[in-house]
Amino acid sequence: MIAAAVFASGSGSNAEAIVLASLPCSIELVVCDKPEAPVIQKAKNWNTEVFVCDPKTFPDKQAYEQAILLKLQEKQIKWIFLAGYMRLIGPTLLEAYQARIVNIHPSLLPAFAGKDAIGQALAAGVKVSGVTIHYVDAGMDTGSIIAQEAVAVRESDTHETLHQRIQAVEHKLYPKTIDYILTEQDGKE
Ligand code: GRF
């Protein structure tokens, strides 16, 4: 079974959807950069090892990512799935995991990249937003797109209601796309 890691900084609902899905990989590690993040307790409930790595305790980003890399290598992790991980991936991890880091973003990229994509969509008054799953490169939400699904924006939507409908799509689309990547792409190597 392919070993994979999920990186998360927050509530971990996408991490949960991935861990609980039946996939051709096993999530051997959750990496979290925020010592108080709710995902840490969730991972304990799934019996998944959590590596809490606070960047503030390292001299620089390279040292921080090097510590993560060591842990990933120790666990023989082959794929990284970012699920609400609120940091840009630097060269240390990008070079070690070329084309093997995937992210989920709550908009139809390239629209509304960066923070608070849902707030950005509401402020722009678009009628359709959605979810994008993409490979990670050095930019902010700029890597090549693997899958997208649209979500209609309603007149009555608040940040919370749109967020809920987008997350419902995310929780299905992320596991489905990981399944696709690992069977269609990784399987051919
Ligand atoms: C998701 O909406 C994801 O698209 C974005 O961050 C959010 C994480 O939510 N990158 P959760 O922690 O998985 O609930």
Per-residue pLDDT of the chain (189 residues; tens, 9 = 90+): 899 999 999 999 999 999 999 999 999 999 999 999 999 999 999 999 999 999 999 999 999 999 999 999 999 999 999 999 999 999 999 999 999 999 999 999 999 999 999 999 999 999 999 999 999 999 999 999 999 999 999 999 999 999 999 999 999 999 999 999 999 876 555
Say how far apart CA 166 and CA 107 lie, in whole Å: 8
What is the CATH topology of the domain spanning 2-188? Rossmann fold (3.40.50)
List the one residue out of 140, 189, 176, 184 whose CA is nearest residue 22. Answer: 176
Burial of residue 36 (CB within 10 Å: 0-12, 13-18, 19+) is: exposed
What predicted TM-score, i.e. pTM, was given to this entire model?
Answer: 0.96
166 CA: nearest ligand 1 atom: 2
CA of 92 relative to ligand 1 center, distance in Å:
24
Say how far apart CA 77 and CA 58 lie, in whole Å: 22
Instruction: Please indicate whether residue 84, judged by its CB atom, sits closer than 6 Å to ligand 1.
Output: yes
Instruction: Please indicate whether residue 9, judged by its CB atom, sits closer than 6 Å to ligand 1.
Output: no
Q: Using an 8 Å Cβ cutoff, are 86 and 68 in contact?
A: no
Query: Which residue numbers are catalytic?
Result: 105
For the chain, the structural domain boundaries read 2-188
Could you tell me if residue 84 is left (phi over 0), alpha (psi between -120 and 50 degrees) or otherwise beta? left
Q: What is the pLDDT of residue 184?
A: 85
Q: What is the pLDDT of residue 91?
A: 98
